Amino acid sequence: MIEGMTDLARARHDLRDPVNHILGYVEILLEEDQVPASFHEDLERIRLGGRRMLEQIHLYFAGTKAGSAPLDLRQIQHDLRTPVNQIRGYSEILVEEAERLGLKTVIPDLRRIHEAARNWLIQTERLLLPELTPSPGPNSDPTRQELLANASPTPSTASGIVERGETWLNQARVLVVDDDPTNHDILDRRLRRHGLNTTGCGDGREALGLLRTESFDLVLLSVGLPGMNGFQVLITIKSDPELRHIPVLMVSGFDGDDRIARCIEAGADDYLTKPFNPVLLRARVGSCIEMKRRRDQEQATYQALVASQQRLAAELAEAGAYVQSLLPAPLSNPIFADWAFQPSAQLGGDAFDYQHLDDEHFAVCLLDVCGHGVGAALLGVSALNVVRSQALPGTDFRDPAAVLTGLNRAFPMERQNQQYFTAWYGVYNRSRQELRYASGGHPPALLFGESSDPVSLRTPAPPIGCFPDTVYLNRQVTALTGSELFVLSDGVYELPLPEGRCGTLAEFIAWLRDIRMGAFVPQDALVHARNRQGRTELDDDYSLIRVRLG
């Protein structure tokens, strides 16, 4: 009973009229021969809903008793809406089915049932809303305005847009969580008409169990569940890393702004009020599923990218290991040689070798291909193998300038994907204690003799592969027994320093001059480089060869 309503008799009259219309048209349709037997079950559901509406009218509008406690008006609103929502849902489904079958004589009565249910809903809102809000004016009553704005179109309007058998949603899976079997049935039948697969349950905990064991594209979640209510289920879904990506469309007979805002703030993707507007239902379900598909595609793309990066990293590591396997072993007699090498974070193009050409001549070569990656490494390895195997026809490998000239002709950048490389090549004659050398665009080698300051060994010429007619020149220097030769790539000294500048060759020479007098090994220089830049990973290949002549 509703306390504070003065004209209850008039209210009962106004509310009974549309119910009588509903029941009357149902009776007529059940008696019509043109109505298929398949319609009878839904018509019986509509008739049952009409009778429940009459019971609600008697319960809440029968009169007031002195001293009776006021009832929860929002709960009353929910109870009154439930049967009429079911009537509207089933009548819309029957109109769509009748239009599909071409039952033109049946459609008008079904539309009248739908319109009567709509009118009954507006009547109850007119009676209850003044009690639910302190602002009686129509312009200040957002709930009434929302009701009128969201009122479902007649079934003919909806059915003109929604066609049976529509499969644009491509068999997406929807979990419908509603404790009212009728609500679930209406939703299930509507969603299946759009090509969706539905699974239903009426309990929040059961819904969570299904979500954790099966795959769904959308959850239609009723707010008013028994036990664990819909809002609690929503909170649980959105706090679970394994479930939070599943869109949740909240469903409720309450349309208050505070309730909607609370659900959206908790992570709901949308909110749908009963009765279900078929056009809005399709649009919002479709939007949520499309959002889920975009998320799935983004996740699949991300996972594919991660897998691709992992494969690439593994391949680069394998290629780096192969390049390092080609580097020469340390020597100890009669010439001492060792080295330090670390490839950059990306596979680079440094490659080097040293070998005895004969009993008198010892050759040292270091190549540095421009850029990084597999292409640079392949070019570096190819050029190194040519030098190591002395595979330049007509070339005397005891003549550094001739070797660089031969490499320049064999590896023009036009045939190497526009890649070129710098090179330093030197040959030490043991009996003469002379070092002949030539370079092409490469940092100078450093020769430490009796003086503490090194001699810079470099010839002016462009990198290998840039210009086909380049003339490379030899120079020579005396290298007494016990002298030390350091051949290096620019990655040894061009280090990105924490203070925001790049290291210089002069700084490296100063450090090397001080440190080499002790028990120095090339690996010490690599450790020094890591410490200077403040991290282990290098931006460029690090190649340093030390040769002690004797």
CATH topology of domain 163-324: Rossmann fold (3.40.50)
Place of tokens 């049952």: 48
Q: How far is CA 490 from the centre of its chain?
A: 39
Structure confidence at residue 386 as a pLDDT band (50, 70, 90): very high
Residue 546 backbone zone (phi > 0: left; psi -120 to 50: alpha; other: beta): beta
Q: Which two tokens stand for residue 45?
A: 């559901």
pLDDT in tens, 258-291: 777 888 888 898 888 776 677 788 888 888 888 8
Is residue 239 classed as helix, strand or coil in its secondary structure? coil
Domain with CATH 3.60.40.10 in the chain: 326-548
Place of tokens 């710098």: 422
pLDDT in tens, 84-118: 888 888 888 899 889 989 988 889 889 888 888 88
Among 311, 376, 411, CA closest to 541: 376
Is residue 286 classed as helix, strand or coil in its secondary structure? helix
Structure confidence at residue 550 as a pLDDT band (50, 70, 90): confident
Supply φ then ψ for residue 413, to 5 degrees: -65, -25
d(CA 209, CA 248): 16
- The CATH classification number of 326-548 equals 3.60.40.10
CATH topology of domain 1-160: Four Helix Bundle (Hemerythrin (Met), subunit A) (1.20.120)
**What is the side-by-side strand order in the sheet with 475-478?**
350-356, 361-369, 421-429, 434-440, 475-478
Domain with CATH 3.40.50.2300 in the chain: 163-324
DSSP 8-state assignment for residue 377: H
Give Cα separations from 528 to 181, 368, 453, 507, 515 (angstroms): 75, 21, 20, 12, 11
Beta bridge partners of 341: 543
- Residue 280, classified by CB atoms within 10 Å of its CB into exposed (0-12), middle (13-18) or buried (19+), is middle
Q: Which two tokens stand for residue 426?
A: 């030197």
Structure confidence at residue 357 as a pLDDT band (50, 70, 90): very high
Q: Assess contact for 548 and 344: CB atoms under 8 A.
A: no
Domain with CATH 1.20.120 in the chain: 1-160
Structure confidence at residue 518 as a pLDDT band (50, 70, 90): low
pLDDT in tens, 473-482: 999 999 998 8
What length is written for the chain? 550
d(CA 472, CA 463): 10
Q: Assess contact for 386 and 368: CB atoms under 8 A.
A: no
Taking residue 531's Cβ as centre, other Cβ atoms within 10 Å add up to: 11
| pTM of the model as a whole | 0.54
